[in-house]
Structure 1
Amino acid sequence: MISPTAILADLSVTMVSPHGPSPQDPKLTGELSAAPDSLGVQRTSGDERAASEKPCHQAHTWFLEEALLPLDNNPKPKLCVLFLQLSKVINLNVGGQIYTTTLDTLTQFPGSKLSQMFTGPTRLPVDSRGRLFIDRKGIFFKYILEFLRTREPPSHFVEEIYQEALFYGVEPLVKVIEDLPKTYGEAVGRQSFLAQVANYEENIELIVRLARANAVSARRSTVVVCVVKSKEDDAERLKAVGDLGADMEPVVKFGPWDPSPTVSDMLFCIKMDIEKKGYKVSYQPYKIACRPLSKPCNIFYALIFTWW
């Protein structure tokens, strides 16, 4: 068995930076004649190597540089990185989850951020065992790899995988997820509707702040919302607020809006987006104390947060 030291001694190493050629270190320059074919080392002259310096080979170059650098003041080279790169098999540490794959799998979409991690000028950090490290939630990376290997869309954790696909810039996966019925309905239907409701996101955040402020020493807290679909509903709201004056509780208003979704649709969206933040919430009609002979006001609802 050929020792790592012998392999390093026999390899012809040209220290080429992704930004351009760097001065060659005479101590590292030799001939490839003794390098074993099993490592996938191509025997080429210096001129041929210079002519073949393309983006797909840059990863080989900078991993080789990385392999020759000391690790934590340890003079021994990072041989594991060198061997992985030469065989095109890569061990990854993604947020503590360990994956084994190939360079070809990771770089099959050259324009993606994921591909650039292995072919671009920026070097990924290496963990204590020499594995390349990506600081993302590792549990979802297996679905990215599964798509790269099989082209099968995810069936679980679709929203989380969608966010990871956006981060890694894997556009084919982004498009596949966007075309799934659930995702398509969310983007084209619900989000399109909510975009026409003024201050929707800000109101959701306000509701959460009010609920938390009322949660002291209580199992439940209530926030009153007013959902007005039409201008007539908004006029009714103003009249109710005027009748109650200072006795009126703080109210968060949604609407009015023009599209077809109903008040029930709006309440469903409010509940869904609050629960996405991890809160347990329900809603019910909220009856306000109107003046005698006043028309009943049916546009107020109580959002009930349950804390324990």
Structure 2
Amino acid sequence: MNREQWAVSLYGGLEARSKLQRMMNDAFEGLADSAGQGPWRLAERGDAIVCKLDISAGQREFCEKVGMVLAEFVLSVKEPQALERFMQRRLGTRDPKEIKTGMREAIVLMNGELPDAECGGTETASGEGRRRRLVRIAAKLGDYLWRNGALHLDGFMRFRMREHADELKEAAETAVEEMLMDRQYQEFMRLLQSMVKGQETGLPAIHVLHGGGQGPTLLDEKMRPLQDEPVTEPVLQAASDQQDRESLLVTRLLAASPRRLYIHTDEPDAQVVRTLMGIFGERAAICDHPMPR
């Protein structure tokens, strides 16, 4: 199959086409002419990027390489654009920070990435999910270009890459659900903080013994088990669900309204500890050395 011309089209205006043209020419740097111009040129009319080459062999390999470049363009340009539109619609906001957070979470879910500690937890290293998508998309695009000689990238994505679209939507939905839950949690925290600020203080101090694989234990300022509500302690210890135990603990402490709250724990980063510190603010302190039970 001899093809002397290949064409790739896409929506997005001159800026998007120019970016893709540069990416494809960078991949075929060895085919630049004496003026340093790569083989891919913007068509004088329409939205195509055209390459004319007189090669009788290696055409499939050429198209496979083009497919890899197009796949990288899909992952680095088209995916973020689709995610940004999705986040704006589902989150009901145009706040750039919130939208970027949702986009980043969705991409992390798809890529199987973890925050890069060297970048302060804000950047991610490529995960297996991204490599898998890159190879899969590149194979489809390269094969289609080899067989047809011309490809419209946006049309191909819409009608021939449903699996990719579904994967993108699923990750975006999951990220949005987590963000909405976090919104609710933050609103709930603000409500509890306002309650604490508006309350008169009750007990001088309460000590919370947390960790060690057991339910929390509450002690008064003289390090005695709280006696004013004897049913609370057995309920806290017996609750089978950790979330139930934490809810009961927060409820109990809000009712007691201690002037000072001391948290003795070997798990200072535990969710319940962070919650108590957030609710009671300056009233609360974490003790470095957990007390023995």
What's the TM-score, normalizing by structure 1?
0.30
Name which structure has the greater RCO, CA cutoff 8 Å, separation 6+.
Answer: 2
Identify, as 1 or 2, the structure richer in helix: 2
